[in-house]
Structure 1
């Protein structure tokens, strides 16, 4: 791919990956406070349980570190439309901001082979920008830095 006189460089590669980050929400103790009259019995306070949540983060890296971090809103599904409008458009803006004199046609994108990334709308959008998609090697954890 990188021929001796090819203008492409490793600095042209942008790697994108998604990962789920679980977290816990602990209700504050002040929610159990209440006024009680001297003759009333104290009410039974139920011990609050942890509420487990998780959010999907889409992270794009290039040679200088994280380029774009996009958080999927709660109760939203990652679709091709969402991926193009909200994720790839931010990646394009970040690339243009970081390298204003270089067109996006020199960019090599390495992202997963999931549904939204392989969808027709995504491939068409990338083709319009001139971004070349690199093939994702199977089971290659060293190319997914946000898993670490």
Structure 2
């Protein structure tokens, strides 16, 4: 589960405990003692005093006030469009785009059935058909891997948005009602660049940064795949000439477009199936990009060239066995999906 949701749930439990003590007529100092017996170090006497004062003046309400400059209403259709456009947007990023508090965004995302898995918004509750598809695909992949260990020759890839401003997202201990320490917000609508990357057990094969503001269309993706094939011919000769390319990608629109499928068929690459809404079993999502984001946290870039330097540095820090480890996690991921009857792997 998303730690942000855990924190919010904890805060609300504490606030309801404060409401209970307030309605009983308990004074703030005694209330803090009582609440901390149930939730150690959850609330201070001063915090209780602030809430008591607020409730006396405005009436009892455990929800936060709306932040100045933020609206409370969200058009769910507009929200769906944003998620479809880029499932990697965080609730904070969406809130910045729509001018809405991120907690409001999370409530609406839950209402339309979305949850955050491996840094991607996916359906909150998979349908029985989607779960069955995940299980059956994983069973097929395990069976194939047992008879022919194809991940040895698997090439996988994906896209990631890299922001110019990457403030560190560190946990904070907060009392109920206390706002987190403010930090500058990046301009999510402009200051970012798209990274496309392909890799295998031996390391990075090819990567590209798009021009600032550019997105991936089927035509752009096919051009990238053509350059990837040239890199494979240069740096993975045995793969191309002897073993053959086992190609893995997710189900993004540019990946599944007819133009893309026709090109991959012309290449003669074997396509590894990947069920929809499954970032938890995509190596780039659960491994490469997660590590990259830790590396990027706290970094700020002035332009695309500085982003490029940082990406080169990150890839240069990784040994060959690090990439192999990420690929070799796949069979265990498939087994876990089967054990969970198709539910998401939450970690």
TM-score (norm 1): 0.70
Deviation of 1:50 (Å) = 8.4
Number of residue pairs matched by the alignment = 121
Partner of 2:248: 110
Structure number with the higher helix fraction is 2
Query: How do 1:43-122 residues align onto structure 2 when only pairs under 5 Å count?
Result: 52=187, 53-85=191-223, 87-103=224-240, 106-122=244-260
1:131 maps to 269
> In the alignment, what sits opposite 1:143?
283
Aligned residue among 128, 143, 159 for 1:18: 159
The structure-2 alpha-carbon separation of the partners of 1:143 and 1:101, relative to structure 1 and needing over 3 Å to count, comes to closer
Unmatched runs of 5 consecutive residues or more in structure 1: 25-48
| Structure 2 residues not aligned, in runs of 5+ | 1-143, 166-183, 291-347
With over 3 angstroms needed to count, the CA separation of the structure-2 counterparts of 1:21 and 1:141, relative to structure 1, is farther
Give 1:114 shift: 0.4
Distance 1:142 1:129 in 2: 22
Task: Verify the 8 A CA contact 1:17 1:146 in the aligned structure 2.
Answer: no
Cα distance in 2 for residues equivalent to 1:59 and 1:121: 20
Decide whether aligned partners of structure 1 residues 75 and 142 sit closer, same or farther in structure 2, where only a CA change above 3 A counts. Answer: closer
What TM-score does the superposition give when structure 2 sets the normalisation length? 0.32
Contact 2:155 2:246 in 1 (8 A): yes
> Match for residue 43 of structure 2?
none
C-alpha contact (below 8 Å) 1:15/1:61 kept by paired residues: yes
RMSD across aligned positions (CA):
2.4
Contact kept in structure 2, 1:18 and 1:59, CA below 8 Å: yes
In 2: Cα distance, 1:143 partner to 1:23 partner: 24
Shift of 1:100: 2.6
Determine the structure 2 residue equivalent to 1:41: none
Judging changes above 3 Å, is the alpha-carbon distance between structure 1 residues 131 and 142 closer, same or farther for their aligned structure 2 residues? closer
Higher strand share: 1
